[in-house]
Each structure stands twice: as C-alpha cells, then as structure tokens.
Chains A and B, each alone.
Chain A
Amino acid sequence: MALTRREFIKFTGLGLAASSLGMLGFGESGVAQAAAVRPFKLAHATETRNTCTYCSVACGILIYSMGDRAKNALSNIIHIEGDPDHPVNRGTLCPKGSALLDIVHAPTRLKAPRYRKPGGTEFEEVSWDFALDRIARLMKDDRDKNFIAKNADGTTVNRWISTGMLAASASSSETSFLTWKVMRSLGAVVFDNQARV
C-alpha cells in the first residue's frame, strides 16, 4: 500500500480514533476512552510548502494551518517542521528554523500602521490611507525640490539622492523586482540592501 506522508498521518490518526479498543478486549470503558482520544491535529491541517525565512541554506519547511482556505475560514498556523523531501535539509531544521512558529506568532508582530509625529513620544495607530498618502506627499515634495536632472556639465543624470531606501533581504525576488521598478523610476540612487551585512 503506497501512502504519502500526509495520508499516513491521516490514516494513523483516524485509525486511533476509529479502531475500537473494545475489540481488543477492554470492554465498554475502552470504547469510551477511544472516543475521547482526539484525532491527531495535523490530520486536519492544511499543509503548505515553504522555505525557512532565515539563512540562505533555504531549508524546505512544511507549514500546517487550521482552516481549509475557504473564504470564511481564517487560516491559523499551528505547526512548522522540516520538509523531509527537500534535497538539502532532508527534514532537519536548526535551532532557529525549529522555532519558526514563534516568529510567525511573535507578540511584537506588527498589526496596523503606526505614526509618530515630529517631537512625539508615542506611536499612534493610523489608517493605511493616511500613512501612504502622507508618505507619497513627503516623497514627492522632496523629489520635486531636490531632483537633479542635469549635472554641472549639462549631462542628463536624472538622479534623486535626498531620499533613500534600504531593501529587504528576506522578501521575495518578485517583491524586490517591483521595489526596483518603483525606486529607479523615481531616480533613486541611495538604494541598497543587506548584502553587505
């Protein structure tokens, strides 16, 4: 019988719940006990392939979440482990990767945009529209004021050096490409990433 890993988990999980311990001679108390055994939680979880977010070994991971991805079911990640099929890590994870669940659910995960006024002592929660409108305004004002279209020799240089950006190092390549397009079409050259540190 060929079983995938996932089917095997389901199989054993359901098996535990379904097989009557009574049949093994434990009588009614055994049946009651069997009914009370919770099926293995992962059997009902949705499994998602992903890669560890930390170093560049890029270990394969399996993320288990509750919820079947239906519109009304909010997924909640309950477990993360190494992907045994992955040719590099072959299921293993290091002390960081093993604790990925704790970074996904860290109490310091940010949940809403926050803004700090000049001279302010606290952050205040703001809407996305407030934050992005204001950021766009500040960027444009600075760009319009300081954009360098031509240098002293009259060469077209079209660069903007008074606002800069540091790009992420764990975001996807797709994110990075889009970020490149946005920043370079503005002429930004003070633009760097974590490659140096």
Chain B
Amino acid sequence: MTNTWQDIKNANVVIVMGGNAAEAHPCGFKWVIEAKIENGAKLVVVDPRFTRTASVADYYAPIRPGTDIAFLSGVIRYLLENDKIQHEYVRSYTNASLIVKDGFGFEDGLFTGYNEETRSYDKTTWDYDIGEDGFARIDDTWQDPRCVINLLKKHVSRYTPEMVSRITGTPQDKFLHVCELIASTSAPDKAMTSLFALGWTQHSVGAQNIRNMAMVQLLLGNIGVAGGGMNALRGHSNIQGLTDVGLLSNQMPGYMNLPSDKETNFDVYMSTRGFKPLRPNQISYYQNTRKLFVSFMKALYGDAATQENNWAFDWLPKLDIPLYDIIKAFEMMNAGQMTGYICQGFNPLQAFPDRGKIRRGLSKLKFLVTMDPLDTETSRFWQDFGPQNPADSAKIQTEVFQLPVTCFAEENGSLVNSARWLQWHWKAAEGPGIARSDIWIMSGIFHRLRELYRKEGGAFPDPLLNVTWKYTDPLSPDPEELAKEMNGRALADLTDATTGAVTTAGTLLDGVAQLRDDGTSAAGCWSFAGCFTEKRNQMARRDATDPREQGIAPNWAWAWPANRRILYNRASADPAGKPWNPAKPIIAWNGTRWAGIDVPDYTPTLDPAKGASPFIMNDEGLGRLFARKLMAEGPFPEHYEPMESPVENVLHPKVKNNPAARVFADDRANFGNPKNFPYVATTYRLTEHFHFWTKHALINAILQPEEFVEVGEVLAKEKGIEQGGWVKVSSKRGEVVCKAYVTKRIKPLMVDGKHTHVIGVPLHWGFTGQARKGYGANTLTPSVGDANTQTPEFKAFLVNIEKTSAPVPA
C-alpha cells in the first residue's frame, strides 16, 4: 500500500477492482465504510461476482475475468477524450511530456522488438530519446507526436466503450458510469483510492493490471495524496515483510537484485545501477545503490567482506535465468532435476496450480522437509486419502520430515503489514510438545552443515563458513538481535557531512542516510534502517496519537521507509509546495523546509523552486505512464486474453495471449479449449476462512464446513443443477466433485455477442484439519504465471460442469 488503512477514510471515491476487501480484509474494510459515512465517498466495485464488497457499493459493474486491462485502458481513453485529467500534476509529475525514441511502436498486438522463438522482447526502443546533454528530451507543449501522452492516447484509442463492452462483457452504460465516477477525482482536491489484491495479480497479465490502474491514478493526480494511492491489500500477515527481506529467487533484502551470471563482477553489476538522473536537478535516490549494497554485504559477511574481494560479491549466487520461481521449481521437480525441497509455513500441494503436477513433483524428490505449526497436506502428499489425494505410498521414495513449529502466539518478532508498518509482537506461551521456532530449526540446520563442512570439506564452503553469526546464543538467536542486524550499525565513527554529528562505531543507525559505501556501515535490510535504534525498538511503539485524525498515527510502530506513512507524499503538494487539497494536507513547503504530519518523501530542506520532481526513486523523478524497459510485455498495458479463454482476442487475433509469458511445454499441453471446457472459472476466498489454515480451527470448520462451487441461476437451470446438489467440475487438469451453491450473484455476461458463464471456486478445503475433505481448487487451475512475477493465473481459466450424484462413502 502506498497509503495507510485508516487513510482510506479520506477518499472521495473508493474503487475495489481485483479484490474483495469486505470479505478478505474485513477489519481494514471498515475504513471504506468510514469514508462512505464520514466523507460521502462513493464505493465502486468492478468484479465478475456480486461480492460482499459489491453488496455495500454505491455502484457495481460486472466484468469477465481476465479483461481488466481492456476496461482500464477504456477508462484512460475516456479521461483523455473528456479532458478529465489533473493537468498540472500530469505535466509536472509524470513522464507525459518526455519524448520516446524513434523506432518504438505497436502493431497487431506486439510492441517493437519481439522475438517469437524466445517469447521475449529486445527492448532497445522502449526508452526515452536522450539528448546530447544526457537528459531525456521533453516537449512541454505536448505537440510532438512522440511524447508519452500522445503515444498513450494513440495506444488506448482502440478501447472505445463499444470495444470495452465487447471484450469485458460489462454493459456500455455501466462502464461509462464507472468512468464518470472515476473522472470526478481529477479535481485537484478530490482523491480516489484503488484497493486491489490477488484478483489482479493472479493473471498472466497481473503486473500490467496494476500498472494500468497506477496510470489512471497518475492521470487523476491521485498518487501521494490523502485518500489516494495504489493500495495492494496483501494476503498473509508478513508477506510484505518476506518480500521486503527479499525471500524471492532473484532478490536481496530491500529490493536489490541478485546478480545474473552476465554480471561477471561487481563493477559490471554496479555499471547498470548508477541511476544517473535523466532530467536536470533530480534526486534519483538509487544513485545510493552502492551504499545499500556494500552495507548489506558487510552485514552478511562482516570482516570477510572487504574492498579487496569486492565485498564478497562472488559469494552471492548468480542467476542464469530471470527467476527460479515456484512454477519453475515444480517443473524441475517433475523433470527429476531436484533432490530436496524445504517448505517453511507453506503448503504448495494446496497453494500451487495443477495439483496433480505438484503431487507428481513431490513424489520425485529424494527428501522433503516441512516446517509448520499444522499438519499440512504437503507433508502428507505420499499418503492415500482417497479421491482427494490418491497415492500409492509404497511407490513413493521421498523421505519426509514433518517438523513442528511454534506459532505467532509463541514468539517475539515483527511483522510488516500491508501499509508497511513493522509491528512488534510478544510471546504469550510456549508451543505445544517439543515444537520449536523456525529460528531454532534453521539455526540447527545451519550449525550442523557448518560442522560437516569444517570436518569434511566439500563444495565451496566459504560463504557458509564466513556468514556473520554473532548471536548471544548461536543456536537460538534472539529476534531482537536479528532486528538490530537488519536495522544496521556503524562499523566506524561516522560523521554526517552536513551536521557534523558523529555516530560512534558499534551503535545502531538512526536511518538509511548514515549508510556508507566504504565498508564503515552494515545494514541487513537498508529499507528497515531506523526500525531499531539506540533509543528503542521503534517497532514496539504504541502511541496511537493521530494529528488532525487524518489516519497517519506516526508514532504507532514504525513504517518503512524512514517511518513514512504515505509514499510519494511530495506529490500531495503542487510544484510550489502548496497542498492540492488544503483540507487534507500531508506536507507543505514553509519557506525553509517541508513540514506536515508525515515524514516527507523528499529531501526535507530542498526548495521546490530547485525543480526536483516527487518520484525520487525514478531517475527522471517522474511517475511513469510509459514504463520504459521495466515490464516483460510492453511499456503500455495491452489486453491479452487469459491463457485459457472462451473467445478470440478481437483486437489482434494472431496474438491472443500474453506473448511474453513463459509457458512450459507440458503445461501448454494441459491447457483446455472452450469446446470441451466452455465456462470461465475464477478462484476466491471466503471471509470465514484463511487459505488452508482455518479448516484446522473448529469454529471456522463449522462455519464453512465443505467444498462448494458457486454457479449462477441461469447456468444452473441450463445444466439441471439444484441448490446444494452435487456437481462435477472439470478442467483439462483434473476434476472436483462437490456441492453447488446456486446464486444470483453471478450473471451471464454478453461477450462479443455470446453469453459467457462464470463459475466461482472457493479454495479452502483439503484433506487435513477439521472441515470435510475437499479436492482443492488447484486441482483445476492451469500452471502458468504472470510474465513478470510468475504469479499463477488462478483468476481466469476454463472448466466444464455437470450435475452428478452424491459420492458413495468408501
């Protein structure tokens, strides 16, 4: 989230598209209700189903799963055609005026530079035209046809209301009404917030769904302001933290990337990370990358990371492909290329697409380790549970270790919530039996491995032998020690260049500004610097005071970065530093410094007259309507059909799906066609359950005891399906036998002249826990991910449904 949960109350329009916050984030959703009641906000919901969020909306529009880009590109067309953009914001704060290189273009569904063989782009032309002064060329008058705003206008011109409706199934009048509501927030003192979740990410075009709305928000001037922003409602309690700390195949803590094997040494690695400003006077924060990187390597390897060995650069693993994500891991497993797998608090047999493939993959491992408080399906994949988990145990040679782990109530530590707050929590009791913490287990494995390498030698042990491990109890490090390690310390006396203040060697850092690139500072996660200072554990703060009751609460816990609660908040004020919305200012220029209720996302004493733009993390300082080379499938979002789709792509029939999506041959062979699988399915969650955990909790198992699918009345009638009757839902990959819940909440959509039915598949049931046994929604889902993130396409795929009889108990 760019903003806070409470800040939602400041919105004039709340759009929920790509999520169902009322059901999935109920206690955060109360701030939407607060916005409606106290601020007269309009809630707009665009969703394939009339969800619980839709039931309290001011306006609801249905949409076919997987067509959000067509809808949002239509919105952009509407905003540009009707001149409903925040002009001064767009001109000053976005790259609308920048000129794009000659040669960049878009034709028949493809951007310039496509290579069909590698299914990827040569992105050379996807960039600005750089002048002789080294800066991107600009046309403030927007006359040049090559400036971003004109290229964008041309790109979205195809998304007329007729075309939007033809693709999405949203009736034209409803689409236009949503456009009007969105457009009302182009006034400088009005804001719209976008709340989204996995309803947008879980598509083969997931990242572009989100970019598309971010572009809408930039055009409306809604980023950085109170009641605005792009608010990703994250799923798990610390998935934000795990992402921040870089537990992703290509990541290091603080969103730094692991090197690729093309980056043969540290200098090559740094050569693309200089981030020289692309416009005059810009901050381009990532010019500091060397400080962040070196400080991290000092935290990781201590004295063993030196200037001479390039801060142990060679000890980091180098990637040969962009990602070893989970879909890739299971592809490798199925090909017999993997020996072992460790699942820490993760249940892939339930959570990942094409369950049959997951089960077959796990069966080919030599060993599997699960670390979990609960008895997960994954840890029992080898055991026969009937049709819900058919297995021939004797034939499965995998050694399985099921390790019992303590839970949230039994540990100290911090979690990062969706609003980037690091909140400390405290242990209330011991775990059951001899369950141990993840920290204890990982430390135990680490020590044993290190001992084995010391004794026996073996493959390149240097990183393992030298990684810092200076904890009071090396077998069970204290969470506070780890938090301090992430926060960072001075390794020598550090003198501030402006104030002359000295941070003495050994003390905890107050913030990221103290990091150095000469090895005199260490920080395990630079974006957390300031969370645990010499003063105190800032994450444990509990002062809920909220200046002007504007939803900032700056002294409650600690937010990354630098305790900043609203990202890009410099953009809440006009170029001269005066708030766009005088009723809800965040920061303002007072003649000598930026002052207000939040930590400025800007140099605190930088005079706005100097012309540095608000998006300080970007090298041009501007919000990007044109993404340059950063996305796999293009610098503008384009509508591509889901990998399994009931219709052709009416915009460009030859390029139906995301041309840059990675698809493994066996997965492609397992895609179904609309002839055999005529209905669109989409997975979702229920408010009574959390993924696959709460079926272990008695109350939740009672509240939603058994697997079902949601079917609209029209389709149910067509197929003779009764309320509560048994059905068989099948995809090319498997079938689920469960009960049907026939509702008015899903109505057929008219897509390109044809009725299209949508089936809802809640995902909570498996074969362990206290609820009844279920097959799991992932029995049906296709194994393909977003082209940038490899997030699986759970929200749009094809199935068939037939009435069936109740299963006979075995």
CB within 8 Å of B: which residues of A? 46, 48-60, 63, 65, 67, 74-77, 80, 82, 85-89, 92-100, 102-104, 106-121, 123, 128, 131-140, 142-144, 146-147, 149, 151, 153, 155-182, 184-197
Contacts and interface: CB of A to CB of B under 8 A. Distances in A.
B345 A170 contact: yes
B5 interface: yes
A140 B458 contact: yes
Nearest to B382: A116
B690 A139 contact: no
Interface in B523-577: 524-525, 528, 542, 544, 546, 553, 556
B619 interface: no
A166 to B, nearest CB: 4
Contacts of B492: none
Nearest to A172: B413
B242 A193 contact: yes
Chain B, interface size category, equals 35 or more
Contact of A56 (B30, B234, B375): B234
A78 to B, nearest CB: 10
Given A111-B432, A157-B320, A196-B791, A170 B408 contact: yes
A94 B27 contact: yes
A170 B27 contact: no
Interface string B419-454: 101110111111011111111011111101100110
Given A85-B544, A103-B697, A182-B442, A113 B401 contact: yes
Contact of A185 (B240, B412, B463): B463
Contact of B425 (A51, A56, A93, A165): A51
A168 B346 contact: yes
A1 B385 CA distance: 61
Contacts of B703: 95
8 contacts: A54-B694, A56-B236, A57-B28, A110-B372, A166-B348, A191-B249, A193-B247, A194-B239
B58 interface: no
Given A151-B320, A189-B319, A190-B324, A166 B344 contact: yes
B241 A172 contact: yes
A158 B421 CA distance: 35
Chief secondary structure at chain A's binding surface: mixed
B699 A102 contact: yes
A110 B249 CA distance: 29
A192 B325 contact: yes
A108 B404 contact: no
Contacts of A164: 324, 329, 338, 340-342
Q: Which of A103, A110, A133, A147 has the most C-beta atoms of chain B within 10 angstroms of its own C-beta?
A: A110
B460 A63 contact: no
A140 B240 CA distance: 31
B230 to A, nearest CB: 15
Interface string B753-794: 000000000000000111000000000000001000111101
Contact of A96 (B396, B456, B694): B694
Nearest to A142: B339
B242 A195 contact: yes
Contact of A95 (B261, B367, B438, B700): B700
A174 B317 contact: no
Given A55-B237, A132-B448, A167-B242, A113 B402 contact: yes
B394 A119 contact: yes
A196 B241 contact: no
A6 to B, nearest CB: 14
B477 interface: yes
